[in-house]
Structure 1
């Protein structure tokens, strides 16, 4: 599970960096302090009274032209807000709420993630009136705080404890070979999921048979492949329910959906004798919408292996039918005969690496410049859409944010072009790719 992320934001000189230093200081058992993600953003890993999270210190939020240094700093701050699980919004309690605080409070509120309001510089009660004034921002109850003197730390800890998503640190997190890769095997009933897992494990751990739907519950199993720890999840076949309109309900997936959300990589197992049925496509769509890495397994390949050119045809069908995971690995195998398991697992490990990939901001903006020069964004009402800046805000799956003007008018065909160009430029086959569009609200931005 990804370590939760906390972003510290606010206008300049409210004490954000002092708060950052207090959180990642030696008294709080600093694990890692990674300076210089950009010139205006620092990150550190924090152990804080039993809580584990990554904290991002951002530049002060200021209105500025998108092309200026301040504008790029603001874009980085917006990217940090997008990335965060929790935002610490800091004001100067002694100065009270200033007009500059309000538009940025609205920016944070629109982001939709939990916000903890910090009224900093309230040591000794000197800023209590400003702390009370902070109620007007509509971000909940402010915590009177002093980053300089450590007052309010207990209240901040309680607020974070109530707000941060749960995180369990892997005992072997520093040893990639020791950290278990979580893999779910999903598919239609009778696609051969349990037979495949039995073959992987080398023993009859799961009940199998010709009847569809023998597996009723998801089952978690530990396995080691080539020295790599794997936690396998077998699931009941995802079948449609009659008379239910909701797509997720039709998949009967309370159990299967939990397995997908548990996993880092999901193997969607198809029956090679009847591949790419409508439900297969729906399952892949579900896995992609949950943001998990995908591998397609063509099971029962031994029954169709005598058909020349079939694998090439099925891979072409996959590209046509599943454009949202373009380049996904399609692996022929036979769980019953034990063929293709190594190739499947190699594809699983490769898919996990792609899903976890991070790309530097400088490389992304070099790509953006080339991609928009080759195929410029269209004009809207005579004014050309401009994409000024891009950054990766998350991995697992890769998530990119674009900043510019009129991006809400960007056609879907152009965002598809950008996603496909990202795949090609940074070798991101098969993985879901997320793209967030952030339109500048700066009245001085003339485009």
Structure 2
């Protein structure tokens, strides 16, 4: 979950230009004419590392509620009511207008916190507008230029407390195990992806056949899996035996050098986007062909995107030398995916249905691990023991001090360690910490992010 930050103001003050800059792409139409934006538009924003959901709103106008501007205003009011923060944008060159003052009165009566941004503040023409803006009662304004990007650091400092405060508040919210599992089935052509989904659904929902490359678009199908192995604790937690799954069938992904057809290129790109959308990615192998380099490339991409990975060996009912094949694939995975150990490896038959329940259990369990948060006490006890058992090195005779650790986010689990001289910390010690997190804190089999930072204050703990 990300905090919502709504961008509001009267028409043509630069709200959509600011929105486009925050989301890093031109999602919202921009024109000199006022009133271009009508509906709310949302986008994932990243401001110097701060992640939040930006909401572009229609220009706020004082019109009859039944008119189009009035209905647009209602949408803006709803956006502000559902936001953790509102950025009130005014035009520095035009100065304060009666409509700006009307919007300010409404915002003061709302419960949503507000920061004031004076746009078009480049040059001397906006100085009087900046001074006038103090009269709105929202504290120090932020001089800004949405067109040129001036003032980004000041906007970062103003937004940071609300974004980080939201993360702290949301940290203790449990992941809803009842939410549909978003599961993408990926692999090389003709591995049996569509056949597997058809077997799960109990119907020929997707076209299958001996020809490779039948599936072109990524197809999403909602389905309910009946879990016969739920424990009493699961039932008490509200998990229903019928567990919802959103299945995503994808086009076969061949080695890039072999893809020449434009349509196949588009299909592969669509499959890669499906990995971004999924929570769990099932990489389907063909038991008659074993593990190939392209399979490892797909697996590595999944891990790089921070998604859970489950590997299923299909056509197990016709595999030759199954024990040797399984051990060989396991060893190759441990060697080729050293950054994530213990990825679940399941044997299945999409034709007979054998192993499908085990596959889904592994997928739901991986999502649970991927979504879990470690308590602060447990995390710091592990960290202190890890540092005591194996202290950081002292390159050049100067000690590297690692002060404390925090879990920044889940999905994927991400941790931040703060310390001094961290630029000198060797990669081997970083791997030691990641392996400890996996082994001691229960994150085996899912991607783990570890960020090591020095304090922002350059005089902090200076020796």
Q: Residues 221 and 382 of structure 1: is their aligned pair in 2 closer, same or farther, counting only changes over 3 Å?
A: same
Aligned to 1:72: none
Q: Is the 8 A contact 1:399 1:433 kept in 2?
A: yes
1:391-431 Cα offsets, whole Å, 9 max, x none, are 00000000000100111222222111111110001111211
The verdict on how the C-alpha distance between 1:358 and 1:251 changes in structure 2, with shifts beyond 3 A counting, is farther
Question: Does the CA-based 8 Å contact 1:3-1:54 persist in structure 2?
Answer: no
TM-score normalised by length of structure 1: 0.63
Does residue 199 of structure 1 match 2:199? yes
Task: Tell me how large the CA RMSD over aligned residues is.
Answer: 3.9
User: Which of 299, 303, 318 is residue 284 of structure 1 equivalent to?
Assistant: 299
The 1:48–1:261 alpha-carbon spacing in structure 2 relative to 1, beyond 3 Å, is farther
* Higher relative contact order, chain-length normalized (CA < 8 Å, sep 6+): 1
Counterpart of 1:333 in structure 2 is: 348
Q: Counterpart of 1:64?
A: none
CA distance in 1, matches of 2:178, 2:391: 46
Aligned length: 320
Deviation at 1:175, TM superposition (A): 10
Q: Give the equivalent residue in structure 1 for 2:458.
A: 442
- Does residue 144 of structure 2 align to residue 131 of structure 1? no
Q: Give the equivalent residue in structure 2 for 1:354.
A: 369
Residues 411-422 of structure 1 aligned to structure 2 (within 5 Å): 411-422=426-437
Matched residues in 1 for 2:216 and 2:378: separation? 47
The answer to whether the 8 Å contact 2:186/2:283 transfers is yes
| Cα drift, residue 48 of structure 1 | 8.0
Alpha carbons of structure 1 residues 435 and 142: separation in structure 2 relative to 1, 3 Å: closer
Residues 401 and 438 in structure 1, CA contact (< 8 A), matched pair in contact too = yes
Q: Does 1:49 align with 2:78?
A: yes
CA distance in 2, matches of 1:378, 1:5: 42
State whether residues 239 and 250 of structure 1, in contact with CA within 8 Å, keep that contact through their aligned partners in structure 2. no
Q: After TM superposition, list the pairs within 5 Å mapping 1:68-79 onto structure 2.
A: none
In structure 2, the CA distance between the partners of 1:301 and 1:383, relative to structure 1 (3 Å rule), is: same
SS at match of 2:141: helix
Deviations 1:85-127 (A, max 9, x none): xxx9979x9xxxxxxxxxxxxxxxxxxxxxxxxx9xx764478
Does the aligned pair in 2 maintain the 1:177–1:229 contact within 8 Å? no
Residue among 382, 388, 396 paired with 1:381: 396
Query: Does the Cα contact within 8 Å between 2:134 and 2:141 map onto a contact in 1?
Result: no
The unaligned stretches of length 5 or more in structure 2 are 6-75, 86-112, 119-129, 163-172, 227-241
Structure 2: distance between partners of 1:240 and 1:252: 13
Q: Tell me how far apart the structure 1 counterparts of residues 266 and 389 of structure 2 sit (CA, whole Å).
A: 42
Runs of 5+ in structure 1 lacking a partner? 7-46, 56-87, 94-118, 146-155, 161-172
Counterparts in 2 of 1:48 and 1:389: CA distance versus 1, 3 Å:
farther
Q: Does residue 208 of structure 1 match 2:208?
A: yes
Segments of 4+ moved more than 6 angstroms:
88-91, 132-137, 140-143, 249-252
Give the distance between the partners of 2:357 and 2:213, measured in 1 at CA: 26
C-alpha separation between the residues in 2 aligned to 1:371 and 1:48?
50
The answer for the alignment partner of 1:75 in structure 2 is none
The verdict on how the C-alpha distance between 1:276 and 1:133 changes in structure 2, with shifts beyond 3 A counting, is: same
Matched, 1:185 2:200: no
Deviations 1:336-360 (A, max 9, x none): 1211000000000000101101112
1:206/1:252 Cα in 2 relative to 1: closer, same or farther (>3 Å)?
Answer: closer
Quote the offset at 1:257 in angstroms.
1.4
Give 3-state SS (helix, strand or coil) of 1:203's partner: coil
**How far 1:306 moved relative to its partner?**
4.7
Q: 2:142, 2:151 within 8 Å by CA — same for their partners in 1?
A: no
8 Å CA contact 1:240–1:252 kept in 2: the answer is no
Q: Distance in 2 between matches of 1:337 and 1:426?
A: 37
Give 1:140 deviation, angstroms: 7.2
Deviations 1:265-321 (A, max 9, x none): 110111122232111000011111111111011111112265334423432332222
Contact 1:325 1:430 in 2 (8 A): yes
Whole-angstrom distance in 2 between the partners of 1:300 and 1:377 = 48
The answer to whether the 8 A contact 1:391-1:402 is kept is yes
